[in-house]
Amino acid sequence: METTLRGVGVSHGVAIGEVRHMGTAVLEPPAKQIPAEEAEREQGRARQAVEAVAADLTARGNLAGGEAQHVLEAQAMMAQDPELMADVERRIAVGSSAERGVYDAFASYRALLANAGEYLAGRVADLDDVRNRIVARLLGVPMPGVPDSDEPYVLIARDLAPADTALLDPALVLGFVTEEGGPTSHSAILARALGVPAVVALPGAGELAEGTVIAVDGSTGEIFVEPSAGKRAEMESAAAARKAALSASSGPGATSDGHKVPLLANIGGPGDVPAAVEAGAEGVGLFRTEFLFLDDSKRAPSEEKQVAAYRAVLEAFPEGRVVVRVLDAGADKPLDFLTPADEPNPALGVRGLRSLLDHPDVLRTQLTALSKAAQGLPVHLEVMAPMVADRADAKAFADACREAGLHAKFGAMVEIPSAALRARSILREVEFLSLGTNDLAQYTFAADRQVGAVSRLQDPWQPALLDLVALSAAAAGAEGKSCGVCGEAASDPLLACVLTGLGVTSLSMGAASIPYVRATLAKYTLAQCERAASAARAADSAEEARVAAQAVLSGE
């Protein structure tokens, strides 16, 4: 009998197939005391296992490329964290085996993250995966992972680590469903990059029996268990119609009556550029520069290295707009040379622009490198600061840009509610705003963006979040300046129409989402988008807002 479940849709598309479950995680190794004379040998085993796992993660990243490569390189650094390794060796020195020392050290670090307010909860899956890989290697057992199958299937897991998600074969894995995670978790981001339909935060997903046929709608978050022939035909027809609309849609983003809405790409480095170009991106709305700084957490990359990386991206969009976000370090992206190691709550501490203003030499080098990278190119370079709280922050950043001789537009990201509430004040110092809806939702609702239990508050359809978007867009309009969205909200085609109706002037998203958004925008007039936006803001919940907007656009 057909039943319907609902999670959070994070990657567009429809998948219909049999359920296959992810392999069970490595179990806890036995606690046994080792003789003191074996401690040095066990410490050596632990070090070798750690290095082997780090090398494997790096190799997987090189194979996957793009966004996945940056995620896996960060995970490899996690495996080699010197403090964690020191804790492992201390535990072995007092009698633990190598595998038990690794297991307990990682458990201790996990507890520290929880006590720090769980801002890093979304990285716990990454941490557990690293631990499991090291312990499995020490025990000499295979690492559980994606099941072997000759037939295509829908993958079910509690959560997916980046190393598993990055190398999924879309020819076999039709889609995936997880019990945990959120719309901005690593698994969700990589699913969109792969173009695999995905639903996360679905309670009880693990209870779906192996071999059960399910239909997954990665747009709505709906899961149909044992779908009827009618439901299958309905979903397949809708998927075919969507594919045809995507093929027919091309050119710049615009509503049906010609209101232009530039569609830009979010990229994490030069490796993401080909997909953005192929998708018809009109430029880059968010160039994350952290990938350059994650290679070595103890020192910033040289100016020369930065110039080369930035120029590779800028050259790909001649005459286009490229918006670069300066280093956003801190919280879930700690760097030894830049961020404090003992903050009680890193999400509310020295991160983003605050870190850079505390280390002006790092900011100056990055701005100088951007200036040199753009020399002689016809690209429209724009540079923005993350985590701007008020006008003083905006002024400090603009002053730093001018002092570095940077010939570009200077902007501010709106990720803190205070920036949205005082957007007009901030715009007296900078030339544009860019809404990072992921963090803006997190800080608006006090809801960690990586914790599945509070994912409903991370839903970008929340009317309170739409109110803050509207405030920012209205302030930019009053000042004659632009206000884009570069958070994951822009990747939802229906929500893209609402954002346009709120006055947002550009939309930036993962490359795979651009065709969907372009095709949907082209179906409606600006006036329809504005009416849908008003209906969504008048609602009292995210679901009501979504339904109200859909009703307006459907003419109901």
Active site residues: 186, 486
271 to each of 216, 275, 326, 439, how far by Cα in Å? 30, 9, 18, 25
Contact in structure between 456 and 203 (CB atoms under 8 Å): no
Contact in structure between 470 and 534 (CB atoms under 8 Å): no
C-alpha–C-alpha distance, residues 494 and 9, integer Å: 13
Beta-carbon contacts of 254 under 8 Å, excluding residues fewer than 6 positions away, are: 260, 261, 521, 522
Kindly state the tokens that stand for 551: 């009703």
C-alpha–C-alpha distance, residues 125 and 108, integer Å: 15
| Bridge partners (DSSP) listed for residue 507 | 263, 485
Which strands form 8-11's sheet, in the order they lie side by side? 3-6, 222-225, 213-217, 14-21, 153-157, 173-178, 198-200, 8-11
Beta-carbon contacts of 234 under 8 Å, excluding residues fewer than 6 positions away, are: none
According to DSSP, the β-strands at 173-178 and 198-200 are parallel
Contact in structure between 472 and 539 (CB atoms under 8 Å): no
Contact in structure between 535 and 551 (CB atoms under 8 Å): yes
Beta-carbon contacts of 177 under 8 Å, excluding residues fewer than 6 positions away, are: 7, 154, 155, 156, 157, 198, 199, 200, 202, 205, 208, 214, 216, 223
Closest CA to 288 of 482, 508, 62: 508
Query: Strand, helix or coil at 240?
Result: helix
CB atoms under 10 Å from CB of 3, counted, come to 10
Contact in structure between 470 and 476 (CB atoms under 8 Å): no
Contact in structure between 132 and 25 (CB atoms under 8 Å): yes
| Bridge partners (DSSP) listed for residue 325 | 288, 384
Amino acid at 511: A
